[in-house]
Amino acid sequence: MLALKVFSPQRGGMTQHASHPRRHDLGGVRAQDDEAGLADMLDLDAEVLGSYLDEVTEWIGQHVPDVPRTVVDVGAGTGTGSLALARRFSTAEVVAIDTSALLLDRLRAAAREQGLAERLRVVQADLDVAWPEVGAFDVAWAASSLHHVADPDRVLGDIHAALDPGGLLVVVEVDVFPRFLPHDVGLGRPGLEARCHEALAQANWNSHPDWQPHLARAGFDIAEQHTFSIEVSPASPSAGRYAHAFLHRVRAALDGVLAADDLTTLDHLLADDSSDALLRRDLMVRGSRTAWAARRPEPAVAGSLPLHHDASSRGADALGVHPQGTVVWQQPTSPGQARPQDGLEEGRSS
């Protein structure tokens, strides 16, 4: 899924991602519509380009020393990563953290449909406030989410502190915009998509840092960095819907930025709200993801044994939270005030 982040060198860090569902910055759409639109985009992205999820979870399997027991999905969205990880690691509990109740609801519904709900716990929490009490875990996954948070280095530090020693963190980013159109779409000037991507890059769409130095500063050892390329051709009907939804957002974002004739061409391509017209134009979907696998080192004490958590150390279980319920983490008013004993309450159960 594309991510729109604003990098703020003046602050030496990142501001919140401009497509964060809580913000009203996508053509003035209401927050609720924005969240629903984001949910659709995330699901379409996974449906169309999701083959990389099988590859990346297999790659994770090569980096974990043991079968993971608990996997935490940081900024889970509609949970395409959570579900792929639950499928790959068929005995693991998956804890999905996100600030959006709507996206987490979509995830729970998908988990039920796929028969994975028993192993899924969703936690609604704002990572900008504090790390929620989710208990111990041996794998963490953060896909297109780290660059959304206000202080990614603090969140990386929190993940490092909470992860089991020897545990693995995988950070994934979309590194090129999804490509759909041929060079010449048969309308307007050739090269439309390339010009759109250039303008989006200038507007800081999807910019993210090289996470390697950030991971190292947080105390992780980098195990591997890998790029996964994805190409889908011929395009399926869902690819047509994805192209339409994506180009629609691009059109809104580049209004007044792109040359008038290119905007007109986009309008023609998006006319009648139908993805069929796009599908007839030799649509081909290409994308790419970069993943960093990073390990929390084992403590360097002579003769020490690796530390592993057991079921009794899992905060939510110990506090009697229903495994399929939504845990709403009542966060402290300022970082550093987290108190697990007053931080959890049971929400809706499925």
Amino acid at 106: R
**Counting contacts by CB under 6 A, is residue 75 touching ligand SAM?**
yes
Which one, 132 or 315, has the nearer CB to ligand SAM?
132
100 binds ligand SAM (CB under 6 A): yes
The DSSP annotation for 227-273 comes to EEEEEE-SPPHHHHHHHHHHHHHHHHHTTTTS-HHHHHHHHHHHGGG
Q: Which of residues 34-73 bind ligand SAM (CB under 6 A)?
A: 42
Joined tokens for residue 203: 């507007």
As to burial, measured by CB atoms within 10 angstroms (0-12 exposed, 13-18 middle, 19+ buried), residue 176 is middle
Among residue numbers 148 through 187, which ones bind ligand SAM (CB under 6 A)? Answer: 148-149
Tell whether residue 146 is a contact of ligand SAM (CB under 6 A): no
Phi–psi pair at 218, nearest 5 degrees = -75, -5
In the complex, minimum distance from the CB of residue 214 to ligand SAM, in angstroms, rounded to a whole number: 16
Q: What is the DSSP letter of 220?
A: P
Taking the least distance from each CB to ligand SAM, the nearer of 145 and 265 is: 145
Which range in 87-95, 114-122, 141-149, 341-349 contacts ligand SAM by CB under 6 A?
141-149
Among 70, 99, 275, 331, binds ligand SAM (CB under 6 A): 99
Query: Which residue bears the tokens 């966060």?
Result: 331
Contact 14, 154 (CB under 8 A): no
Q: Which amino acid is at 80?
A: T
Q: Which stretch binds ligand SAM (CB under 6 A): 145-153, 222-230, 293-301, 329-337?
A: 145-153
As a whole number of angstroms, the distance between CA 131 and CA 171 comes to: 17
How far apart CA 215 and CA 171 sit, in angstroms, is 9
Residue 217 CB, nearest distance to ligand SAM (Å)? 20
Of the candidate spans 93-101, 188-196, 287-295, 315-323, the one that interacts with ligand SAM by CB under 6 A turns out to be: 93-101
CB within 8 Å of 250: residues ≥ 6 apart: 196, 200, 266
**Candidate residues 5, 60, 72, 80; the one interacting with ligand SAM per rule CB under 6 A:** 80
Number of residues that bind ligand SAM (CB under 6 A): 22
Q: Footprint of ligand SAM on this chain (CB under 6 A)?
A: 1, 3, 20-21, 42, 75-77, 80-81, 98-100, 103, 126-128, 143-145, 148-149
